[in-house]
Structure formats: C-alpha cells, structure tokens
Amino acid sequence: MRRHRRQRNARRAATVVVSGLVLALGLAQAGAHPGHEDGIHPRPGPHGAGEPDDAVSKNNAHEFQHGPSTGHLPGSVENVELVSSLRLTSFAEDISDVSALQTADGRWFAYVGDWGAHCETGGVRVVDFTDPENPTRAGYLNSRGFGYVTEGLQALHIETAEFSGDLLVISNEWCRASGNPKNMPGGITLWDITEPTAPKRLVEAFGDFDVHGNRANESHSAIAWDTGEGNAYVAVIDNEELEDVDLFDITDPSNPVLLAETELPGVNVNGLGDLKTAHDFDVLQFPDGSWHLMVSDWDAGWIDVDVTDPANPVIVGDFDYAECDQVLLEELGECLQPEGNGHQGEWTSDGSVFVGTDEDFSPYRTSDLMITTGPHVGEYPAVSVGGALSPASLPDLTLDGPVVYGGYGCPDSAPIPSPEDIPGYLDMLEEGDERIIALQRGPFGDPSAPEDACFPGEKAHEAVEAGWESVLFVQSHVGPEDPPFCGSGAFVDPVVGVCTSHEVFHRLFDTPPFLPPWTYPDGPAIGEIGARIAVVSTFDGWGYTRVVDTSDPSMPTEIAQITIPETADEDFAFGFGDLTVHEVEVPRGDPNEGGPNVDDDVLAYFSWYSGGFRVFDISDPANPAEVGHYIDDDGNNFWGVALATDQNGDRIVLASDRDYGLFIFRYTGPLPE
C-alpha cells in the first residue's frame, strides 16, 4: 500500500544480526505510537460513491482505467486466457485484495476488499464465480463507520473444538477520525461464511486495545491457520505499536484471545531506509509438523517465526539483503543498496523455497540531501515519499532552493503561508530553484497542535494551494534512531516531495537541539526561511521479486530474482503507471485454494500493478522464467491474486484490479517438465 503500504508508524530499527541464530521473541510492554495517517500505503482518493454495473463482457474495453495510452503499458497477452471480468467499482484505486473459497456443496465465492473511495463505503464485495465465465455479485459486507479493507483478507475452512465451517478474516483500518471510537475500527473482524449469501458476523474490530482502550489498534493485514488438532490461530499486523505482530487464539472465533505480541527484536535491518515494520504474512506447516509464520518486515526483509506454540513465538530465520542490488548491478552496472520493502510472499509446499515481493513505487531513490548554506553545510539522509514526484521529474533532476517552514500542513493545522507573504523570499530564488516548503509529519502529541494528523498527500495539497511547488517532509519526534520516514499516500497534485530526519529539520533552521531528546515547543516559527538544499535523484528501478532458499530455515539465502522487462529500464520510469510488483500466489495443494493441482510448486502467479498479471515458472527456483502474462488494452492496476478451480477442477486464478474489480484468468501455456 504504497506510495504504499500503508498507514504505518516508524518502528525502532534494531541492528543485531541474528541469521543462523534462534531467538526467543521478547514480549515487550506495549508502547503507543503515532496513528496510521502517515503510513506506508496510500489512502483512497476523494471520489464520490456509486454503484457499478454488474456484468462486463471480457471483450469490452474497460472504462475508468488510466486515461490516455501514455498512462499504462500497451495491451499484451501470452499464454493467458481472460475467462471473465466483473466491474465492482467506478472509482480509481478503490479495490484492494482478493481471497476465494469453495463451499461444501461445490460453489466458489470471491471476497474482494474495498478501500471505500467515499470513505464510508469500505468493506468486502462478495462474488459468486461458480461459473467462472459468468461471475455475479452476491453480497456486500460493509465495514463499520469509516473502516476499509486492504491486505488482511482471507477465506478459509476451519475445524476446531468450538467451530466447524468457513471463516472470513478481515483486518481493519480507517480513513477518517471520529469522536465515536466505533467509527474507527481496528484489529480483526471475523465472519461465518459457511453460507456466503447469509454471512454471520462473529466478532467485530477485536484486537490489541493497549493504546486506546476503547478501540483496537489498526491492523493492515492478518493470516489465520487451522492446526488440524482442534485449534486455530491468527497473526495480525499491529499498525500502532512497536510490538507489531500480534497472535490470537481463534479456536472460538466469536471469542478471540490475545496470546502474544512482539516486535521481532534483534533482526538485521539492511534495506535502504532502515525501516523495520511488519507488513504481511505467510503461514505453513513444515514437513516436521512445526508451524512457521513468515513475516514481511520491510527493510528487515523476511523473518521466519516458529509459531508451533503461538503464545511463545521464536525467530528461526532472518533474511539479509545483499550488499549490492543484484538486478541493478547487472542491468546498470551500479552497486546500490537494495531498496528493501519486503512486502509479501509465499513458501512452496515443503517450505524449502520462499518467493517474496519487494514493493517499491519509486523508480528513483533520493540521494542524500545537501544543506548548501548556513552553519550546518553538509550531507544528510533523505528518502523518497511514496506518491510524490521524484526530483528526477524536474528539468535539472535536482530539487534545490531555500526552504521555508510551514508547520504541519494538515487541513486543520495552522495555515501554510504563501511564498508572496514571506518578506524577501522570492528575491532569494535563483534560476532553476523550486519553491520549497518544509512540513512536519504528524502532529502527534504536540500540545500546540491538537488537530488530527493527516497523510503526506493532504499536506502537499495544502502546500500547492498556498503556492508552493515542492515539499520537504520532515520526520516528527521519534526515538534515537530518527529514520527519515514520513509516510506516503493521498497525493492528488503532481508535486515533488522528499523526506528527511528530525535532526536535519533542526539543522536546516539552526534551532537546537540537533539531536534527541527533543521536546515541545519545537523548531522555528511558521514562515521562517532556512538554509538552501539540493537533493538529487538516482534511478534505481521498480520493485521486483526475490527467490529465497529456505531449506535451512536459519539461513535464508537469496538464489534468484524475478523481474519484468521494465523493472530496470529508465524509459519506463514515468508515464506507464506503477510498475512495481505487489503480491504472489504459489500453488501448493492448499485445500482452501482448490487442493492439489498440476501447477503446484512449479508456477507462481503475480499481481504486478500496471505491469499486469504475470506467470512465472519456478520449477527450477534458481532460474525462474516468465511463461505468461496479461495486460489489458486499457491498462490494469492489479493488487491481489488468489487461486481457485473451475467446474472441471482445473486451475483458474483471480486478480483484483484497483480501478475496476475482479478478473478471472486461466494459464494456457505448457507446464514445466
């Protein structure tokens, strides 16, 4: 989500290498962290509500996709049949993830997340695709208040001592603050979908109540499993605490019980940006009977956690990125630190291979920020802001000019002054300079700013309305590590934006203290002119996929990369939509996905945003090869992917298009021998 992911807080970045070690997870006391507004994923745009048409022929052009042909890749198909499609929205970026499950009497239903383009309309759209050529809408599960559904969406069958039937697991986030905590759902919601056309809510917005007391912490994703021994569990992302992996017993899904919470301490964080934040999961029972949870931990990569006893999770493996990004080194001849952004992934059936996606929406990385005037001239850390334009979009590829402080910049914050209102500022601008406003992340806990925090894109919009051309976002008060992390999402204006640390903020305006501890009141007065900066961008390509040998869980080793042709091609950096990978499905005989099939462990199916639907041969994991793809003539924006079967038991694959709805595909190429 993100430009992504998703409303997530900065987390402490531990630096102890633990590959090859087995560490018991510390269940630290929960500590409150800022809310979701400045997270990793984008929030839905300000669209109006509307009901989409029900059926769309697979031969019809898709309206409301991406505008002119320059906004996406040209249509192309290889070894993939489009079985059908169903419009579920009329708004851009409205649809999120997809899951599917077959009922006991043989019907198939898809569960498609809705971000809620009008905020209040978030939830889950239910689709009957028993006849894959003629999918129909079968229901809608509305999220409470201002809730919406992103990646924590899973349908599965469980048999426990307390429940026998089909379960839908939903993780909850929200898009608008409210005086009524019931309008701001967090945690998880569980539905009994044994009869999908008559679902029964078992529990709503249940989770970790440490921070707020009267409502659960927001959750970006969740994954459940049935042990086969009378118990079922769910792992949940906690958006609001350092202890961002929560584990619950859902043996009685109407009465979940929190068993443990952990921040996955001590793992190595070595992706660009050093941001450690749990984002998504896979779960698998290994051949020895143990249960393993793979946590996508962003710049810490993927962390293998033994959850055989979910009350006592244990780290058994810690993935480390290579010193140089292998694809960039091969394609560009440059040694650049890997982006990181470990987003999602899946094991093969025996746990010996893991296929993990790195979600990177910024094909340019922001090189270090230079303060070029004043008492603190020097080079400082800076990163891109998802959803904002890169300095590479500027004619000279560089963001430079004097910086003015504009406060927090949210719609309810103190107004951002216009450049014309700042005495002497316009006279300072040199040829090629941009008008740059500095805006703090938050506000969080600032007694002088009681208003709600907001997304970077909302801050940028206020800045553009005031007459500014670009935004320097600065991190708020955080711990001693002070990573340059300012969130992402909700951009509606083409504005250049980069992020730097809180220390740099103080140095820009020469306002001590330059290092923590920081206190309020903080920084300069709104409208004060600071030093000049220069920020250059370096092309580093789009996010792609890594193949990891996990046959020794304690030593996960990267053995290959999966890319599309545009990944490291600078000609595709602008104008073709988001060309980063998002999710992967690896068939492995899961009964919740139709059971064993001919593609188990040999094919992998990807939702690649504007890169379309992709199919790769992974039968030789060290040498993956693309064998099929689908890109609609009017472009695609694929988020989720799920496995199912048709009436004959043959594999079909579902993909959720953020701007359209549901697509159903069949791979028609040869299977690996």
Q: Residue 70's pLDDT band (boundaries 50, 70, 90)?
A: low
At 276-318, the pLDDT tens digits run: 999 999 999 999 999 999 999 999 999 999 999 999 999 999 9
Can you tell me the mean pLDDT for 618-643?
97
Tell me: pLDDT of 557 over 50.
Answer: yes
Q: Which of 508, 539, 570 is the last residue of a domain?
A: 539
Token pair, residue 510, equals 């020469």
Residue 249 and residue 105 in one domain: yes
Residue pointed to by tokens 């060290």: 622
522 and 591, same domain (yes or no) = no
Three-class SS of 237-275 = ECCCECCCEEEEECCCCCCCEEEEEECCCCCCCCCCCCC
Domain harbouring 264, CATH code = 2.130.10.10
> How far does CA 394 lie from the centroid of its chain?
27
188 and 226 assigned to the same domain: yes
Q: How far apart are alpha carbons 453 and 176 in whole angstroms?
A: 10
Spatial contact of 495 and 464, defined as CB atoms under 8 Å apart: yes
For position 100, what pLDDT does the model report? Answer: 98
In this structure, is residue 672 part of a structural domain?
A: no
Q: Is residue 13 part of a domain?
A: no
Q: Answer yes or no: do 186 and 281 share one domain.
A: yes
Do residues 504 and 566 share a domain? no
Residue 383 lies in a domain: yes
| Residue 84 near residue 134, CB atoms below 8 Å | yes
Query: Does residue 14 fall inside a structural domain?
Result: no
Question: What is the mean predicted confidence (pLDDT) over 318-326?
Answer: 97
Structure tokens at 308: 């055989």
Distance between CA atoms of residues 328 and 351, nearest Å: 28
Instruction: Decide the pairing of beta strands 378-380 and 661-667.
Output: unpaired
Q: For the chain, give the percent of residues with pLDDT over 90.
A: 77
The pLDDT of 532-542, averaged and rounded, is 93
The amino acid at residue 512 is: P
Instruction: Please check whether residues 124 and 216 belong to one and the same domain.
Output: yes
- Tell me the C-alpha distance between 353 and 359, whole Å: 19
DSSP label at 425? H
Number of Cβ within 10 Å of residue 255's Cβ equals 12
Q: Are 421 and 565 found together in one domain?
A: no
Find the mean pLDDT for residues 534-557.
96
* Confidence bin at 44 (pLDDT 50/70/90): very low
pLDDT grade for 386, boundaries at 50, 70 and 90: confident
Task: Give the distance from CA 51 to its chain's centroid.
Answer: 26
Contacts with 573 (C-beta within 8 Å, 6 or more apart), sequence order: 363, 364, 392, 539
Site of tokens 């979910």:
310
Query: Domain ends where: 492, 516, 539?
Result: 539
Residues 591 and 568 in one domain: yes
Judged against a pLDDT cut of 90, whether residue 245 lies above it is answered with: yes
Inter-residue contact 13 to 301 (CB < 8 Å): no
Residues 394, 254: one domain?
Answer: no
Asked, for residue 596, whether it belongs to a domain, the answer is yes
Q: What is the pLDDT of residues 133-191, one digit of tens each?
A: 999 999 999 999 999 999 989 999 999 999 999 999 999 999 888 889 999 999 999 99
Do 441 and 505 belong together in one domain? yes
Domain that holds residue 505: 364-539
Q: Does 12 fall in a domain?
A: no
HEC string of 454-481? CCHHHHHHHHHHHCCCEEEEECCCCCCC
The 10 Å Cβ neighbour count of residue 517 is 8
Q: Are residues 553 and 485 in the same domain?
A: no
What's the CATH code of the domain at 417? 3.50.30.30
- The whole-angstrom separation of Cα 157 and Cα 196 is 12
Within a domain: 417? yes
Alpha helices in 109-260 (DSSP H): none
Per-residue pLDDT band for 456 (boundaries 50, 70, 90) equals very high
Provide CB contacts within 8 A for 515, sequence distance 6+. 503
* 1 lies in some domain: no
- State whether 641 and 502 are in the same domain: no
pLDDT for 5 beyond 80: no
- Which 3 state secondary structure label does DSSP give 436? strand
Give the end of a domain, one of 476, 511, 539.
Answer: 539
Number of domains in the chain: 2
Indicate whether 533 pLDDT > 80.
yes
* pLDDT tens, residue by residue, 73-86: 999 999 999 999 99
